[in-house]
Amino acid sequence: METKYSYAAGPAVATIDLLDKFRPYADAVEQLSGLANPPFRTVIDQVLSPFEVVIAGRKTIMIGSNNYLGLTFDPELIEASKEAAETFGVGTTGSRMANGSFSIHQALEHEMAQFMGKRHAIVFTTGHHANLAMIGTLGGPQDVILLDAECHASIYDACRLGSAQIIRFRHNSPADLEKKLARLDRSSRHKLIVVEGCYSMSGDLAPLDEIVRLKNEYNAYLLVDEAHSLGVFGHTGRGAAEHFGVDDDVEFITGTFSKSLAGTGGFCVSHLDVLPLFHYCARAYMFTASGTPASIASVRAALQLMRRKPELRDRLWNNARRMRDGFQRLGFAVVNGDSPIVSLLIGDQTTTVLFWEALVRNGIYCNLFLPPATPKNGCMLRTSYSAAHTREVLDLALSIFERVGREMGILKSGTEPQSA
Ligand code: PMP
């Protein structure tokens, strides 16, 4: 029989080839390759500012980044990075456990714990590693992890890494969570609930007040990933748990430095004395190189700056609300939420891809999400805002969405505002 599909050189003999599973990807890539700007491989040639880039020779408005506080070009952060590279070198060339724990990693841990009002903090190489290390290590064979269905891929990966039983509950549905908790032994302390403070695709907040009530009632632990909420929500920018006034009830908070803090890296904070033990048992901490000195130093500077300048958060919120209102006024189907992530439902897959590509050709970059990566298997465009965007640039972005939307028949004249 012939090989159905093979990338390997040599005679086609096998019925089932190791590489067969890549065929759907190859087909999809081929389909998209006819577009002037094929999605998912966009190359940014130049970064002109926190909100302007050059793509395919064209100046483009960036509304597809999580640069919430707009700090990527802040002179204080750049200076801190340069100084750290000169002092500590450009790389750590080893893991935290071996030779990659420098004084600046430890200093950042103290500063994160202090900022988040917790006893302990651990710094990881990325936010993805933070979730792998924490959730993957917490979930043992006797345990049950209950996670919101819309959790980020890193949380799903972490669940696979551990050996706990995994139960998904409906997105942002405390009622479904309760139904699932009620089937488990109420008195056992083998349960971990995992949610995000603010969900990365739809931009909606977890109802943490209700989730905390349930976790107390059913004797569970709670881990909240504040990747998209740190620096955005809460009186001091600690995140969604602070926003709901439940910080003291969350056992583990994970997050990333790659959004509001404009660097790379991840963290976990906790008031529980078990956290420092993860330095010795979390594989995603132990077996990967630690964050580069330049990034760790810029994150420390960003943390200070975020504390000193709460007005950045006000600017961010003004920008986000201006855009949410603007899209609704134009008649786009805006996904419900109140955060700097404003997602739009455009239509079927072909229409969504073509609209995204037309936006790129017209000087707008946002994120394209297609099934199976999307909630409810819809197709959507995610836009996200920054304290650095100016009014002029945001109004220009809206006018481009409107023009291209009308040209493509996505917006009809006289369309009533919608939400989804
Ligand atoms: N958690 C969530 C909710 C995220 O959205 C992301 C990144 N998009 C991560 C974790 C991973 O963070 P990092 O990019 O630092 O690996």
Tokens 């651990």 sit at which residue? 122
* Residue whose tokens read 């229409």: 351
What confidence tier does 15 reach under pLDDT thresholds 50, 70, 90?
low
- Does 192 sit in the ligand 1 pocket, CB within 6 Å? no
Q: Does any ligand 1 atom lie closer than 6 A to the CB of residue 65?
A: no
Q: What secondary structure letter does DSSP report for 287? A: T
Question: Dihedral sign, CA of 58, 59, 63, 64?
Answer: positive
216 lies in the same domain as 323: no
| CA 376–ligand 1 middle distance (angstroms) | 20
Structure confidence at residue 377 (pLDDT): 66
| Same domain (yes/no): 114, 197 | yes
β-strands 266-270, 120-124: how paired? antiparallel
- Where a domain ends, among 250, 276, 308? 308
CA distance 394 to 412: 22
Q: Is residue 7 part of a domain?
A: no
What is the DSSP code string of 222-263? Answer: EEEE-TTTTTTSSTTS--HHHHTT-GGG-SEEEEESSSTT-S
Residues 276 and 348 in one domain: no
Q: Which atom of ligand 1 is nearest to the CA of 66?
A: 8
Residue 280 in any domain: the answer is yes
Examine the pLDDT at 6 and tell me if it is beyond 70. Answer: no
Distances (CA, A) of 143 to 128, 161, 193, 221, 325: 22, 13, 11, 11, 44
Please check whether residue 332 is in contact with residue 418, taking contact to mean a CB–CB distance below 8 angstroms.
yes
Active site residue 200: yes
Domain match, 221 and 360 both:
no
Q: Is residue 204 a part of any domain in this protein?
A: yes
Q: Where is the domain boundary, 290, 308, 326? A: 308
Q: Taking residues 259-286, what's their average pLDDT?
A: 98
Q: Of 308, 343, 359, which residue is a domain's last?
A: 308
Q: 12: pLDDT confidence band, cut at 50, 70 and 90? A: low
Residues 282 and 403 in one domain: no
Structure tokens at 228: 């998209």
Residue in 67, 68, 152 to alter for ligand 1 test, most ligand atoms within 8 A of Cβ: 152
pLDDT above 50: residue 1 = no
Q: How many CB atoms lie within 10 A of CB 11?
A: 8
- With a cut of 80, say whether residue 60 has pLDDT above it: yes
pLDDT band at 374 (very low <50, low <70, confident <90, very high): confident
Q: In sequence order, what are the residues at sequence separation of 6 or more whose Cβ sits closer than 8 angstroms to the Cβ of residue 1?
A: 15
User: Which of 65, 200, 205, 369 is the best mutation target for the ligand 1 pocket, counting ligand atoms within 8 Å of the beta carbon and taking the most?
Assistant: 200
What is the percent of the chain with per-residue pLDDT over 90, rounded to a whole number? 87
CA-CA-CA-CA torsion sign (133, 134, 138, 141): negative
Distance from the alpha carbon of residue 265 to the mean position of ligand 1, in angstroms: 9
* CB-based contact 84:92 (threshold 8 Å): no
Q: Is 118 in the pocket of ligand 1 (CB under 6 A)?
A: no
Query: What gap in Å lies between CA 16 and CA 6, rounded to an integer?
Result: 9
Tell whether 224 is covered by a domain: yes
| 303 & 316 share domain | no
Q: Do 228 and 268 fall into the same domain?
A: yes
- In 3D space, the residue among 364, 368, 366, 351 whose CA is nearest the CA of residue 397 turns out to be 364
Residue 183 has pLDDT above 90, yes or no: yes
- Calpha distance 86→34 (Å, rounded): 45
166 found inside a domain: yes
What pLDDT, on the 0 to 100 scale, is given for residue 14?
A: 56
Neighbouring residues of 276: CB distance < 8 A, sequence distance ≥ 6: 120, 122
Same domain assignment for residues 302 and 336:
no
Which pLDDT does position 291 carry in this prediction? Answer: 98
Of 150, 243, 236, 155, nearest to 200 by C-alpha is: 150
Q: In what order do the strands lie in the sheet with 252-256?
A: 120-124, 266-270, 252-256, 221-225, 191-196, 144-148, 165-169
The owner of tokens 């040209």 is 407
**The two three-digit tokens of residue 222, written as one number:** 């709670």
- Ligand 1 centre distance from Cα of residue 146 (Å): 19
CATH number of the domain residue 55 falls in:
3.90.1150.10
Three-state DSSP class for residue 153: helix
**Residue 110 sits in the same domain as residue 154:** yes
Domain contains 12? no
120, 215, 259, 389: the catalytic one is 259
Q: How far is the CA of 416 from the centre of ligand 1 (A)?
A: 35
Instruction: Name residue 148's beta-bridge partners.
Output: 169
Number of structural domains (the chain) is 2
**Is residue 86 located within the same domain as residue 64?**
no
Half-sphere exposure of 150 (CA within 13 A, CB side): 20
Phi first, then psi: what are they for 60, rounded to 5°? -130, 140
Q: What is the CATH number of the domain that holds 123?
A: 3.40.640.10
Q: For 20-28, what is the mean pLDDT?
A: 92
Q: Are residues 91 and 193 in the same domain?
A: yes
In a domain, 9, yes or no: no
Q: 420: helix, coil or strand?
A: coil
Tell me the residue range of the domain where 52 lies.
Answer: 20-71+311-419
202 lines ligand 1 (CB under 6 A): no
Instruction: Tell me: pLDDT of 2 over 70.
Output: no
Q: What is the pLDDT of residues 184-232, one digit of tens each?
A: 988 888 999 999 999 999 899 999 999 999 999 999 999 999 999 999 9
- Averaged over 358-372, what is the pLDDT? 95
Q: Is 216 left (phi over 0), alpha (psi -120 to 50) or beta?
A: alpha
Structure tokens at 77: 């952060």
Question: In ligand 1, which atom is closest to the CA atom of 257?
Answer: 15
Residue 327: inside a domain, yes or no? yes
For residues 60 and 81, state if they share a domain: no
What is the tally of helices (H) and strands (E) in the chain? 14, 16
Tell me the C-alpha distance between 198 and 231, whole Å. 12
